Structure formats: C-alpha cells, structure tokens
Structure 1
Amino acid sequence: MKKKIPYWFWVGIASWVLIILLRRNDIYIPVINDHFTDFITIPMYCCLIEYIMNSLPGCHWKPDLKFVLTSVLYLSFLFEVLCPKLSEKFTGDVWDVLAYLAGGLIYYIFQVRRFQAEK
C-alpha cells in the first residue's frame, strides 16, 4: 500500500496559495504574511522528505529531532542569511527563525513523538 501525503500537508499548500493570491491582490495580513508561512515551512519540508524516503522500497523512515533541528538551521541560513544577500525580495528576520523553530518543534511533538508512542 502506497503511503499518502498527510492532509495537513495539503492544507499548508492551500494556505501558501491563498497567501500568494492575497499578496497579488495587495491584501496584506501582517502575522500571516510575515510568520505563518515560515511556521508551516519546516513541517511541510519534513513531511515531504519523509514521503520521499518512505516511497523507496523497504524504507520506513521518520524524522528525528536532530533532522528537524538541522532542517531549521539549514532553512534559516538559506532564507534568513543567504537569500537576503542575493536579492532584495528577501529579508533576514530573527522572528522568522523562531517561527521555523516553533513549527519544527510542533511537527516533532505531534507527528514524530506521537508516532513513536503508537509503536
């Protein structure tokens, strides 16, 4: 049986699409535009990597805390340090890093820890 991508991943994609449409229509909701997208980035990233890994034959992988924290560091460096140096469209913000971290920890607690408890 092929593993399906969780419904909340699709909720995240729908949220991003909605936010992009709002931005294109010059509708700006500060918390949503500034931090919500960062908050859902790590859970969606981890879910996508988990889906790809588990699509391989014989592989049953779940991200651990080290993977989640490394993902937070990687994406924080990429989007909050490197990208602002390359483009004016990006801004480096400590609050965004905290949103990545909060999203990652919530993903870990509710997805990974819950999975381990069910075993």
Structure 2
Amino acid sequence: MRIFKNPIFITCCLIFWINQAVEYWSFESSPFLYSYLDDLLAMPVILGLTLQIFQWIHPKKDNFRFTMTQVIVGFLYVSVAFEWILPAYSDTYTKDFWDIFCYFLGTIVFYLGINPKNKAISN
C-alpha cells in the first residue's frame, strides 16, 4: 500500500495541518496540545514522507520498508537535532525531555501503523 493512502499517515498529516492552522491564526488551544502535538505527529509525518520517496525510487517499490535500525536512526536524528543542537544555537528552540518522549511515541506509531509489513517471498 502506498504511504499516501495509509489512513494512519493521512490522519497524522490532517491533525498536524489543523494544529498548525490553529497556531497560525492564534485560536485558543490547549497548552498541552500547543506544546506537544506537533512533536507527537512529527515522526509519522517525517518518516512517512521519507518512506514514500524511497518507495518511488527503490527497486522494491511498495514492498520497501524501513528496518528497525533505520527508524531508530531517524528518531535519534530528530531528537538530537531539535532537542540538543538547535537549542544550543537558537533561542527559538528549547530542550524538553517530553518532546523526545513524543518523538518516541510517534516513531512507534510509524513503525507499527505506517511502515508496511514484510511480505513473505514465495519461490
């Protein structure tokens, strides 16, 4: 199944875009949602888009999936970049353990719900 047709990926993207619109137009929002919803949805959206691009260019096409190692590297990359490196150089970013926890939960959502399962190869 293509990633763009995956209902979990579509739901994550729609919620992310709605949340961005709410923040942009300064509508009232829960402080918890304002602080953590984007972080929770980041990994399913980032990894989902990346996986779709890989499926377009990889010889396995729709059968290509990320390994657990690749998913963990993606999680670590985003966590280190946004919670360690960027806060050191910009006042816009702040270190927050809960952001990393949200990235972790989002990574699990991606791996279990969006990353396609290996199909048995028949001879």
Which residue is 1:85 aligned to?
A: 88
- Give the drift of 1:40: 1.4
CA distance in 1, matches of 2:22, 2:47: 26
Percent of pairs with identical residues: 18
Q: Which amino acid aligns with 1:31?
A: F
1:115 to 114, 117, 121: 117
Q: 2:75 touches 2:104 (CA, 8 Å); kept in 1?
A: yes
Q: 2:36 touches 2:99 (CA, 8 Å); kept in 1?
A: yes
State which drifts further: 102-111 or 6-15: 6-15
2:101 to 95, 98, 102: 98
CA distance in 2, matches of 1:52, 1:29: 34
CA RMSD of aligned residues (A): 2.3
Shift in CA distance, 106/21, structure 1 to aligned 2, threshold 3 Å: closer
Q: Deviations over 1:1-31 (max 9, x none)?
A: x945134333323222222222231523122
CA distance in 1, matches of 2:90, 2:27: 21
Q: Deviations over 1:17-56 (max 9, x none)?
A: 2222222315231221222211111111221111101111
Runs of 4+ in 1 over 3 A off after TM superposition: none
Which residue is 1:71 aligned to?
A: 74
Shift in CA distance, 3/26, structure 1 to aligned 2, threshold 3 Å: closer
TM-score, normalised via structure 2 length: 0.78
TM-score, normalised via structure 1 length: 0.80
Q: Which amino acid aligns with 2:50?
A: I
State which drifts further: 86-95 or 51-60: 51-60
Q: 1:12 touches 1:44 (CA, 8 Å); kept in 2?
A: yes
Shift in CA distance, 69/18, structure 1 to aligned 2, threshold 3 Å: same
Shift in CA distance, 90/55, structure 1 to aligned 2, threshold 3 Å: same
